[in-house]
Structure 1
Amino acid sequence: MLMPITYAEKNLFSKNAQEIVVELLDRSYDNSVLLFKVLAHSVQNNATLVQSLDESIFENTEVFKEQFSNLLQHALTQAYTNKQVMTESTKDYSVKELSKYFGVSVVSIHNWLDQGRFEGIERAGDHKHNRISGDTLYITAAGKKLKVDDVVKMWEQQELEHEQQHQQEDNLSYYTRQIAIYEHKYNGEYEATLGAKNELTPEEETDAQVWKHLLRRQTLEFRITKE
């Protein structure tokens, strides 16, 4: 199976390319020249890159460092592009979409970005909007890592199960019954159980998100039935 290159790893490699070059050159300049030549001729779409180079770049260390860093960036671009082609295409999600899939507010997603809870992703500034790749790792409060795509799949599975249940009972009854399951599991209402805890286990965090969603839907159904 092809080893995946995550969005976070792509960003980290791009950020550290210059440092990687310096470490290689410090270890062995001659071996670095050999590695550079092999890489330059092995990566895809290398015509422009190779044609612009000659042996003179190896005579000046700073020029060589710059060209080596450029080569690594080019190799990264090709590797990440190949990964996307050879594996199932990964979708990018907006902050608003993630708020739905995670069952939290947009503000919470922004806070998680500020806290580094989406590995390798920094909050966009200057009125720009984050697009978060599905292969990004989300770090739970307990330190567990989940791929964003996996969280989305869990949400979709829950929605499918909900839809199947809806076909057999009215909405209000369904939400009330589902809430009762969680109240039985945690021996009390949400605010007195998970809602009162400062730290949650991964299972509790998932349950809390679903439970809150059910409570919101139940409240909405109450309003609809009264109108």
Structure 2
Amino acid sequence: MFMFNPDQVEVAISEAQSIPALLGKHMEQEGKNTKIFLMALANYIEKTSPLSKDEIFEKINLEDLQSTSDLSSQMQLLLVHMVKVGVEDGLVTKIYTTGDVARFFGVTVATVNNWLSLKRLTGVEKEARYKQARIPETATYTSATGDVMTIREAAEIYMTNKKRTSVRPLTPSQELQELLHEIIFFEKKYGGELKNTLAQKMEKLTPAEQRDLNEWKHLLQEVEDYRV
């Protein structure tokens, strides 16, 4: 990561302000294409900088761009915003595991994995070398009702409640026990192991059974990951 001194910050912002004017002729000829480019930049900001998107999105309006001057001013706002985020000191993003996020929301690890599969958690990358997804605090969770919350906000709420109730976080051993309890719940519900029950059912699964099947599989995978 590059570090910037105050003079370099000033230069970077100045360049962001100047570049749109230099592209004036191009924007005049390619106005429609430039608008599409600006929309892509706006999407990038929304996906990678969710905590600051409201601030910048209050200032820009990409729906009603008409003149080259409008295109230039909107591009300038986007570029300056991106530069300011890029040169900000101490901008370190915390990374959480699925277990961490499960604790923040008071759900199981399997539920968090389901959220990932259903794209209810966005801004997350799962790399092969990691047993669990690495979830940045800037990732966003969308509830079933459409409410959006960043993982940072969920962590802050969790920590505040933890201080009030003095609840200790689960140790890895305790978390493994929680996973096993969840698996036992499904085994009792369906009268046996997954491979001998839902996984073998010949009739079409009901929506509830399909959800249980998915969560049960995730639980078994999480236990397997803990034992590796």
Q: Shared fold (TM-score greater than 0.5)?
A: no
Please tell me the TM-score bracket, short chain as reference: 0.3 to 0.5
Instruction: Name which one, 1 or 2, has greater alpha-carbon Rg.
Output: 1
- Please give the TM-score of this superposition, normalised by the length of structure 2: 0.35
- Please give the TM-score of this superposition, normalised by the length of structure 1: 0.35
The structure with the greater share of residues assigned to helix is: 1
